[in-house]
Amino acid sequence: MNSRTKIVILAAGKGTRMQADIPKAMTLFRGEPFIAHLLRAVEKSGIDTLPTIVVGHRANMVMDAVGDRALFSMQEKQLGTGHAVLCAKETLGEKADDIMVLYGDMPLIREETIKTLRRAHTESRAPITMMTVKVPDFNDWRASFDDFGRIIRDSGGSISAIVEKKDATPEERAITELNPAIFCFNGAWLWDNLKNLSNNNASGEYYLTDLVKAAIADKKPVHSIEADSREAFGINTPEHLAIAEKLFKIGKKDGA
Protein backbone atom coordinates (compact mmCIF):
# COMPACT_ATOMS: atom_id res chain seq x y z
CA MET A 1 0.00 0.00 0.00
CA ASN A 2 1.65 3.18 -1.17
CA SER A 3 -1.19 5.48 -0.18
CA ARG A 4 -0.14 8.37 2.04
CA THR A 5 -2.86 8.67 4.64
CA LYS A 6 -3.19 11.53 7.11
CA ILE A 7 -5.30 11.22 10.23
CA VAL A 8 -7.50 14.01 11.61
CA ILE A 9 -8.73 13.74 15.20
CA LEU A 10 -11.70 15.90 16.13
CA ALA A 11 -11.25 17.15 19.69
CA ALA A 12 -12.69 20.66 19.80
CA GLY A 13 -15.80 19.89 21.80
CA LYS A 14 -16.60 20.86 25.36
CA GLY A 15 -17.58 18.04 27.71
CA THR A 16 -20.85 19.68 28.76
CA ARG A 17 -22.68 16.41 29.35
CA MET A 18 -19.64 15.14 31.23
CA GLN A 19 -20.43 17.92 33.73
CA ALA A 20 -16.96 19.44 33.38
CA ASP A 21 -15.56 22.63 31.86
CA ILE A 22 -12.76 20.90 30.02
CA PRO A 23 -12.41 19.61 26.47
CA LYS A 24 -14.18 16.27 26.33
CA ALA A 25 -11.03 14.71 24.88
CA MET A 26 -9.26 15.53 28.16
CA THR A 27 -11.67 13.48 30.30
CA LEU A 28 -9.75 10.83 32.22
CA PHE A 29 -10.22 7.17 31.36
CA ARG A 30 -8.10 4.62 33.21
CA GLY A 31 -5.85 7.41 34.48
CA GLU A 32 -5.22 9.11 31.11
CA PRO A 33 -7.16 11.55 28.92
CA PHE A 34 -9.27 10.07 26.14
CA ILE A 35 -6.96 11.66 23.59
CA ALA A 36 -3.93 9.82 24.99
CA HIS A 37 -5.58 6.43 24.40
CA LEU A 38 -6.53 7.34 20.86
CA LEU A 39 -3.09 8.75 20.05
CA ARG A 40 -1.48 5.55 21.28
CA ALA A 41 -3.65 3.51 18.91
CA VAL A 42 -2.82 5.86 16.02
CA GLU A 43 0.89 5.64 16.76
CA LYS A 44 0.79 1.84 16.98
CA SER A 45 -1.04 1.69 13.65
CA GLY A 46 1.99 3.29 11.98
CA ILE A 47 -0.25 5.09 9.47
CA ASP A 48 0.46 8.71 10.42
CA THR A 49 3.39 9.64 12.64
CA LEU A 50 2.10 13.18 13.11
CA PRO A 51 -1.71 13.30 13.08
CA THR A 52 -3.63 16.58 13.09
CA ILE A 53 -5.86 17.33 16.08
CA VAL A 54 -8.64 19.87 15.68
CA VAL A 55 -8.93 21.80 18.96
CA GLY A 56 -11.32 24.47 20.17
CA HIS A 57 -12.62 24.74 23.72
CA ARG A 58 -9.65 25.35 26.05
CA ALA A 59 -7.36 24.36 23.21
CA ASN A 60 -4.17 24.92 25.19
CA MET A 61 -5.15 22.17 27.61
CA VAL A 62 -5.17 19.60 24.79
CA MET A 63 -2.08 21.03 23.13
CA ASP A 64 -0.08 20.98 26.36
CA ALA A 65 -1.10 17.38 27.06
CA VAL A 66 -0.26 16.14 23.56
CA GLY A 67 2.91 18.18 23.00
CA ASP A 68 4.86 17.35 19.85
CA ARG A 69 2.98 14.11 19.15
CA ALA A 70 0.60 15.90 16.76
CA LEU A 71 -0.08 19.01 14.73
CA PHE A 72 -3.00 21.25 15.65
CA SER A 73 -5.75 23.14 13.87
CA MET A 74 -8.13 25.57 15.56
CA GLN A 75 -11.91 25.44 15.29
CA GLU A 76 -12.96 28.76 16.76
CA LYS A 77 -16.69 28.03 16.54
CA GLN A 78 -18.28 24.61 16.87
CA LEU A 79 -20.04 24.41 13.51
CA GLY A 80 -20.11 20.66 13.02
CA THR A 81 -17.83 17.81 11.99
CA GLY A 82 -17.60 18.92 8.36
CA HIS A 83 -16.51 22.38 9.44
CA ALA A 84 -13.97 20.86 11.86
CA VAL A 85 -12.27 18.88 9.08
CA LEU A 86 -12.28 21.96 6.86
CA CYS A 87 -10.45 23.79 9.67
CA ALA A 88 -7.68 21.20 9.33
CA LYS A 89 -7.19 21.78 5.61
CA GLU A 90 -4.47 24.41 5.98
CA THR A 91 -2.48 22.18 8.34
CA LEU A 92 -2.93 19.10 6.17
CA GLY A 93 -2.40 20.78 2.84
CA GLU A 94 -3.70 19.05 -0.25
CA LYS A 95 -0.96 16.48 -0.77
CA ALA A 96 -2.41 13.61 1.27
CA ASP A 97 -3.80 10.80 -0.86
CA ASP A 98 -6.33 9.86 1.82
CA ILE A 99 -7.65 11.42 5.01
CA MET A 100 -9.04 9.43 7.93
CA VAL A 101 -11.27 11.09 10.53
CA LEU A 102 -11.33 9.86 14.13
CA TYR A 103 -12.81 11.30 17.32
CA GLY A 104 -11.24 12.32 20.60
CA ASP A 105 -14.03 10.76 22.66
CA MET A 106 -13.50 7.19 21.42
CA PRO A 107 -10.63 5.85 23.57
CA LEU A 108 -11.54 2.20 22.94
CA ILE A 109 -10.67 2.10 19.24
CA ARG A 110 -7.75 -0.23 18.51
CA GLU A 111 -4.81 0.16 16.17
CA GLU A 112 -5.87 -3.00 14.28
CA THR A 113 -9.19 -1.38 13.42
CA ILE A 114 -7.49 1.80 12.23
CA LYS A 115 -5.22 -0.28 10.00
CA THR A 116 -8.15 -2.30 8.68
CA LEU A 117 -10.02 0.88 7.71
CA ARG A 118 -6.98 2.23 5.87
CA ARG A 119 -6.36 -1.05 4.07
CA ALA A 120 -10.01 -1.41 3.04
CA HIS A 121 -10.06 2.14 1.72
CA THR A 122 -6.86 1.70 -0.27
CA GLU A 123 -8.15 -1.51 -1.82
CA SER A 124 -11.64 -0.18 -2.58
CA ARG A 125 -10.51 2.97 -4.43
CA ALA A 126 -13.85 4.48 -3.38
CA PRO A 127 -14.07 8.18 -2.47
CA ILE A 128 -15.39 7.17 0.95
CA THR A 129 -14.80 4.14 3.12
CA MET A 130 -16.72 4.18 6.37
CA MET A 131 -17.05 2.05 9.45
CA THR A 132 -20.43 0.69 10.43
CA VAL A 133 -21.39 -1.16 13.59
CA LYS A 134 -24.10 -3.70 14.23
CA VAL A 135 -25.85 -4.31 17.52
CA PRO A 136 -28.42 -6.98 18.33
CA ASP A 137 -30.67 -4.42 20.05
CA PHE A 138 -30.61 -1.09 21.87
CA ASN A 139 -30.84 -2.51 25.37
CA ASP A 140 -28.42 -2.24 28.29
CA TRP A 141 -25.11 -0.49 27.40
CA ARG A 142 -26.13 -0.38 23.74
CA ALA A 143 -28.91 2.14 24.46
CA SER A 144 -26.71 5.06 23.39
CA PHE A 145 -26.41 3.57 19.89
CA ASP A 146 -30.11 4.26 19.38
CA ASP A 147 -29.15 7.87 18.61
CA PHE A 148 -26.86 6.84 15.73
CA GLY A 149 -27.87 7.18 12.09
CA ARG A 150 -29.25 4.04 10.44
CA ILE A 151 -27.45 2.49 7.46
CA ILE A 152 -29.84 1.89 4.57
CA ARG A 153 -28.76 -0.62 1.92
CA ASP A 154 -30.23 -1.36 -1.48
CA SER A 155 -31.16 -4.80 -2.78
CA GLY A 156 -27.57 -5.36 -3.87
CA GLY A 157 -26.21 -4.66 -0.42
CA SER A 158 -24.70 -1.25 -1.24
CA ILE A 159 -25.19 1.72 1.08
CA SER A 160 -27.96 3.87 -0.37
CA ALA A 161 -28.52 6.31 2.50
CA ILE A 162 -27.87 7.17 6.12
CA VAL A 163 -31.03 8.19 7.94
CA GLU A 164 -30.79 10.02 11.25
CA LYS A 165 -33.03 8.75 14.03
CA LYS A 166 -35.17 11.90 14.10
CA ASP A 167 -35.91 11.47 10.38
CA ALA A 168 -36.38 7.69 10.43
CA THR A 169 -39.62 5.80 9.96
CA PRO A 170 -40.48 3.12 12.56
CA GLU A 171 -39.15 0.50 10.13
CA GLU A 172 -35.89 2.39 9.69
CA ARG A 173 -35.49 2.88 13.43
CA ALA A 174 -35.56 -0.90 13.79
CA ILE A 175 -32.39 -1.17 11.68
CA THR A 176 -29.41 -2.11 13.84
CA GLU A 177 -26.57 -1.35 11.41
CA LEU A 178 -25.39 2.08 12.47
CA ASN A 179 -23.12 4.97 11.54
CA PRO A 180 -20.39 5.94 14.06
CA ALA A 181 -19.18 8.56 11.51
CA ILE A 182 -15.64 7.20 11.25
CA PHE A 183 -14.47 7.74 7.68
CA CYS A 184 -11.52 7.49 5.34
CA PHE A 185 -11.77 9.79 2.32
CA ASN A 186 -9.91 10.23 -0.91
CA GLY A 187 -8.18 13.53 -0.21
CA ALA A 188 -8.89 15.31 -3.49
CA TRP A 189 -12.54 14.20 -3.44
CA LEU A 190 -12.91 15.34 0.18
CA TRP A 191 -11.71 18.89 -0.45
CA ASP A 192 -13.77 19.21 -3.62
CA ASN A 193 -16.95 18.20 -1.84
CA LEU A 194 -16.44 19.53 1.67
CA LYS A 195 -16.84 23.11 0.46
CA ASN A 196 -20.27 22.25 -0.91
CA LEU A 197 -21.76 21.05 2.39
CA SER A 198 -24.87 22.85 3.58
CA ASN A 199 -25.80 23.76 7.13
CA ASN A 200 -29.49 23.81 6.30
CA ASN A 201 -30.52 21.70 9.28
CA ALA A 202 -31.95 22.17 12.75
CA SER A 203 -28.49 22.62 14.32
CA GLY A 204 -27.10 24.93 11.65
CA GLU A 205 -23.99 22.74 11.42
CA TYR A 206 -21.97 21.14 8.62
CA TYR A 207 -21.92 17.36 8.91
CA LEU A 208 -19.38 14.94 7.46
CA THR A 209 -22.14 12.37 7.11
CA ASP A 210 -23.68 14.53 4.37
CA LEU A 211 -20.69 13.62 2.19
CA VAL A 212 -22.11 10.11 1.97
CA LYS A 213 -25.28 11.59 0.50
CA ALA A 214 -23.17 13.61 -1.94
CA ALA A 215 -21.26 10.53 -3.10
CA ILE A 216 -24.45 8.51 -3.59
CA ALA A 217 -26.10 11.36 -5.50
CA ASP A 218 -23.04 11.46 -7.77
CA LYS A 219 -23.25 7.68 -8.22
CA LYS A 220 -19.92 7.16 -6.48
CA PRO A 221 -19.40 3.99 -4.42
CA VAL A 222 -19.44 4.16 -0.63
CA HIS A 223 -17.39 1.29 0.76
CA SER A 224 -17.80 0.04 4.32
CA ILE A 225 -16.29 -2.24 6.91
CA GLU A 226 -17.89 -3.49 10.08
CA ALA A 227 -16.19 -2.64 13.39
CA ASP A 228 -16.73 -3.95 16.90
CA SER A 229 -19.46 -1.81 18.46
CA ARG A 230 -17.43 -1.48 21.67
CA GLU A 231 -14.72 0.43 19.83
CA ALA A 232 -17.23 2.92 18.42
CA PHE A 233 -18.77 3.60 21.81
CA GLY A 234 -18.69 7.38 22.26
CA ILE A 235 -18.42 8.64 25.83
CA ASN A 236 -20.71 11.60 26.44
CA THR A 237 -21.79 11.29 30.08
CA PRO A 238 -20.40 10.01 33.41
CA GLU A 239 -22.66 6.99 32.94
CA HIS A 240 -21.04 6.28 29.57
CA LEU A 241 -17.64 6.54 31.24
CA ALA A 242 -18.57 3.80 33.69
CA ILE A 243 -19.85 1.64 30.82
CA ALA A 244 -16.61 2.19 28.87
CA GLU A 245 -14.64 0.88 31.85
CA LYS A 246 -16.67 -2.34 31.76
CA LEU A 247 -16.30 -2.64 27.98
CA PHE A 248 -12.53 -2.24 28.31
CA LYS A 249 -12.39 -5.10 30.78
CA ILE A 250 -14.58 -7.28 28.55
CA GLY A 251 -12.25 -6.52 25.63
CA LYS A 252 -9.24 -7.61 27.65
CA LYS A 253 -10.95 -10.88 28.52
CA ASP A 254 -11.75 -11.43 24.86
CA GLY A 255 -8.14 -10.73 23.90
CA ALA A 256 -9.03 -7.48 22.12
Q: What are phi and psi of 203, to 5 degrees?
A: -90, -15
Active-site residue (options: 17, 58, 110, 119): 17
Look at residues 100, 77, 114, 55 and name the one whose alpha carbon lies nearest to residue 190: 100
Tell me the CA end-to-end span of the chain in Å, nearest whole number: 25
Contacts 24+ apart (CB under 8 A), 245-254: 245/29, 245/30, 246/141, 247/108, 247/141, 248/30, 248/108, 251/108
Contacts of residue 148, defined as CB under 8 A and 6 or more positions apart, other chains included, come to: 133, 165, 178, 179, 180
SS3 162: strand
Measured CA to CA, the distance from residue 54 to residue 62 in angstroms comes to: 10
Q: Is 17 noted as a catalytic residue in this protein?
A: yes
On whether the CB atoms of residues 29 and 37 are closer than 8 A, the answer is yes
Residues belonging to the active site: 17
